[in-house]
């Protein structure tokens, strides 16, 4: 899953109005943000295996510290504790924990059975990636719905708010289509290094929200 994670981060503004968009994106992408660091450190492993699924040529051999249910539960608790302590917004903290955990749930839907429940434990996966059409429909639908919800909850305050948000959406869609229809990455290291670029979208999301009207948010969908 790729666009779907961003979709739930965008939609979270409707139920968690206080956390910034950058924070919700960080939470929803936390597992994928840490994953390339662990790969480059040699603690987790992925292989380039064209044909592994219809959607991705990646074989996720081992990623127990960033993508197991138990690990993501621990990361979710830590993320919520840090945010809640700093912002005194425990309702928002609970939703951010849910976003961190949502990454595992969405990946179980997309992946073949390679998502660990705990390090060394059983692996789950419903295999949506085995269907190209199904993957495109689900990813684009989640992303589109999330973008619509965020746009309703946080209308642009100025022209830059429109441009930043539209370009954010466009770049993500182009990157997703490029990963699906483009050539496989040349190596595990190159893949992990490029994946670190995902942190750019966290910063970009913070920038977007500086130019969006985020008050009042709770009634934006009414």
Q: Provide the whole-model pTM.
A: 0.94
CB atoms under 10 Å from CB of 204, counted, come to 18
DSSP 8-state class, residue 108: H
Convert 48-90 into a string of H (helix), E (strand) and C (coil).
ECCCCCCCCCEEEEECHHHHCHHHHHHHHHHHHHHHHHHHCCH
Beta bridge partners of residue 48, listed in sequence order: 58
How far apart are the C-alpha atoms of 88 and 61, rounded to whole Å? 39
Give average pLDDT by consecutive 10-residue segment, the chain, 222 residues: 97 96 98 97 96 95 97 98 97 98 98 95 97 98 98 96 98 97 94 95 98 62 38
Rounded to whole angstroms, how far apart are CA atoms 160 and 162?
A: 5
Give the pLDDT score at 213: 87
SS3 152: helix
User: Who's near 148: CB < 8 A, 6+ residues apart?
Assistant: none
**How much is the pLDDT for 215?**
61
User: What is the structure's pLDDT at 217?
Assistant: 44
> Where in 99-183 does DSSP place strands (E)?
115-116, 123-124
- Give Cβ neighbours of residue 165 (< 8 Å, ≥ 6 apart): 150, 151, 156, 208, 212
To the nearest 5 percent, what fractions of the chain are helix, strand and coil? 65, 5, 30
């Amino acid at each position: 899953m790729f666009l779907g994670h961003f979709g739930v981060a965008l939609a979270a503004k409707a139920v968690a109005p206080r956390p910034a968009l950058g924070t919700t994106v960080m939470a929803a992408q936390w597992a994928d943000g840490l994953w390339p660091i662990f790969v480059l450190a040699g603690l987790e492993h992925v292989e380039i295996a064209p044909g592994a699924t219809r959607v991705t040529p990646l074989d996720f051999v081992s990623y127990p510290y960033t993508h197991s249910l138990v690990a993501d539960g621990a990361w979710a608790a830590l993320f919520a504790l840090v945010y809640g302590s700093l912002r005194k917004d425990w309702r928002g903290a609970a939703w951010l924990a849910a976003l961190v955990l949502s990454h595992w749930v969405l990946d179980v839907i997309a992946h073949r059975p390679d998502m660990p429940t705990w390090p060394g434990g059983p692996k789950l996966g419903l295999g949506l990636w085995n269907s190209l059409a199904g993957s495109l429909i689900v990813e684009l639908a989640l992303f589109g719905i999330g973008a619509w919800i965020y746009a309703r909850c946080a209308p642009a305050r100025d022209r830059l708010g429109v441009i930043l948000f539209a370009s954010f959406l466009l770049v993500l869609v182009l990157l997703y289509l490029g990963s699906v229809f483009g050539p496989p990455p040349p190596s595990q290291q190159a893949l992990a290094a490029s994946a670190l670029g995902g942190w750019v979208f966290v910063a970009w999301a913070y920038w977007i929200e500086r130019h969006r009207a985020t008050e009042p948010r709770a009634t934006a969908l009414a």
